[in-house]
Chain A
Amino acid sequence: MKNSLLFKIGGQIICLAATAVFLFPLILMLIRSFSGNGIQNYIRVFETIDLAPNFLTSIIVVFGTLLIVSLAASMSAFAFSKLEFPCKKVIYYTLLTGMMIPTSALIFPLFQIVRGLNLNNTPFSLILPYAALNCCTNLMMLKNFIDSLPNELMDAASIDGAGTAKIYTSIILPISIPGLAFVLIQTFLSAWNELQMAMIFINDTKIQPISVVPLRFIQTAGGQGFPVEVMYAALVICLTPIVLFYVFGSRFLISGLTQGAVKG
């Protein structure tokens, strides 16, 4: 399987060109954020807008969602994989349709629910809808992962007298951590980046999640006191957490996608 020289050179040229295209907008943003006054642009961002509450909202939303997803998705995946009960297949496939449903199809009724519960303009308005959608999206993957775990472990435990709950907490949960970690990374990304619900359920710009904040910049950028360079600096600040997350999580994410985790 030696590669020809033509393949090596051609492949590198194509990949380098693609790298340039994929990185161009991001590098452009980074370079422009330093143009003019250099690091001063970043200081200006902190002087003019207080992003801390926005980051706090995002963090609360993401961790709340992760908490619910890790419990609800793993419990149900375990039940669908290893337990028997009537109508199991029907319920399972009904839940899977949840991942097919576009956000826009849900958004107005959800807004009514959120407003009815007086949750709008709080991070909690987003946690439950995100959790519901992400649970359905990840249910199948997690079920397939648990399917691949041997039944012998469970059988041995139940001979020892462990109940179903005990089997879930002390056997299934610990050994399904690799699958769960992958699910949680995906959930983290989707909850952190979600725009549509976030901008409607939380319309108070002071506490909007960080995924919505850049929308404000489009209108205000270029105006007095908020030059374009400062906007780019603000964008870099908004993008930094997710990039850091990706830098540390990418190895895991990509190996999860390529090895087994997806296919179970």
Chain B
Amino acid sequence: MQKKNLSGYLFILPIVILFLIFIAYPIVYSFIISFYDWNGISIEKEFAGLSNYTALMHDPIMIKVLKNFFIFAFSTIIIQAILGLVFASFFMRRLKFSGFYRIIFYVPVVATPAIVGNIFSKIFETNRGYLNTILRAVGLDSLCQQWLADPKWALACIIFVNIWQWTGYSMLMYYANMLNISDELYEAATLDGANKFQQFYKITFPLLRGTHYTLFIMGMLGSLKCFDLPYVLTKGGPNYATEFFSTYIYKQSFNLFKQGRASAIVVVMFMIAMIITLVQLKLYYRNDKDKELAG
């Protein structure tokens, strides 16, 4: 028994070391730095107590960041889920060319975000952008916008690109879990006279509860992490209309050298991530199926 204990620890040693150095240590470090006034470079740091946090509470940009986070999270999660469900149920009903569509719809998920952002920045460009050119060509000049340069539209554009990129993922998750639902349920429902819509509403949708949870959690965390698209498309602008936690932390750290402030935002973001994680664990413990965490 003694030997067995030891060997178990040996097997997890590499991952534990990686975790401690590259994940746990940085979090602890940020917690500590968040109480200091520091530019991130000089040797001197000045203890600042809670001032970084009080400054955050009075920071109007932080309110924008929170607002953008929630708008972004809920709109992408809901729209991706609806599209994902529609496509997945097409595939379940063996629409022709399903295999082909599945592969195509998943392509954006694997495309490099910097390249995707680069192309979309050319599409949304105001003067010679393809979107406005197309709108003008079909005579809808009135619909032309400044897209990424207009605070009213910039966030919507980023949400659109995100949906474009991640719908394939939701689709595949739903499809994978629909395959697990027993055919007998549908046969029984058909015998009872339920139509396709009722079957979806009464059988498919409730039985996909685990997938809804997973996609919700992944979507919330993805929105918290969201960096690539806003960084490439708008750099957080115009006027902070597309500022997210990640881009704001980046600016504070690497452009303004306010490491204490940046760390305080990190701590806030980390707290949100932990709340999401706790919600998730609670949901899964209730079902006592931690396997569904992944799908």
Contact = CB atoms under 8 A, between A and B. Distances in A.
Interface of A: 1, 3, 7-8, 11-12, 14-15, 18-19, 21-23, 25-26, 28-29, 68, 71-73, 75-76, 78-80, 83-86, 88, 91, 93-98, 100-110, 112-113, 128-129, 131-133, 135-136, 139-141, 144, 147, 163-165, 168, 189, 192-193, 195-196, 200, 210-215, 217-218, 228, 231, 235, 238-239, 242-243, 245-246, 250, 253-254, 257-259, 262-264
B162 interface: no
B114 A76 contact: no
A105 B269 contact: yes
A108 B40 contact: yes
B246 A254 contact: no
A96 B277 CA distance: 10
Which of B30, B110, B123, B167 counts the most chain A CB atoms within 10 A?
B110
B7 A165 contact: yes
Interface stretch (B50-58, B71-79, B138-146, B174-182): B174-182
Contacts of B269: 102, 104-105
Contacts of B200: none
A217 B118 contact: yes
B293 interface: yes
Contact of B176 (A129, A214, A262, A264): A262
B12 A103 contact: no
A91 B12 contact: yes
Interface string B94-120: 111100011111111011111111111
The size bracket of the interface on B is 35 or more
A59 B4 CA distance: 38
A77 B176 CA distance: 23
Given A75-B11, A136-B23, A95 B16 contact: yes
B227 A103 contact: yes
Contacts of A140: 290, 293-294
Q: Which 9 A-B pairs have the closest CB atoms?
A: A85-B8, A109-B26, A79-B11, A132-B22, A262-B295, A132-B18, A104-B246, A72-B14, A83-B8
Contacts of A108: 26, 30, 40, 253, 259, 262-263, 266
B227 A104 contact: yes
Contacts of B61: none
Contact of A264 (B95, B121, B291): B291
B105 A22 contact: yes
A125 to B, nearest CB: 11
B18 A135 contact: yes
B4 A83 contact: yes
Nearest to B210: A263
6 contacts: A3-B93, A26-B111, A100-B273, A139-B15, A242-B110, A262-B295
Contacts of B266: 104-105, 108
B193 to A, nearest CB: 15
Contacts of B96: 8, 12
A147 B294 CA distance: 14
A214 B22 contact: no
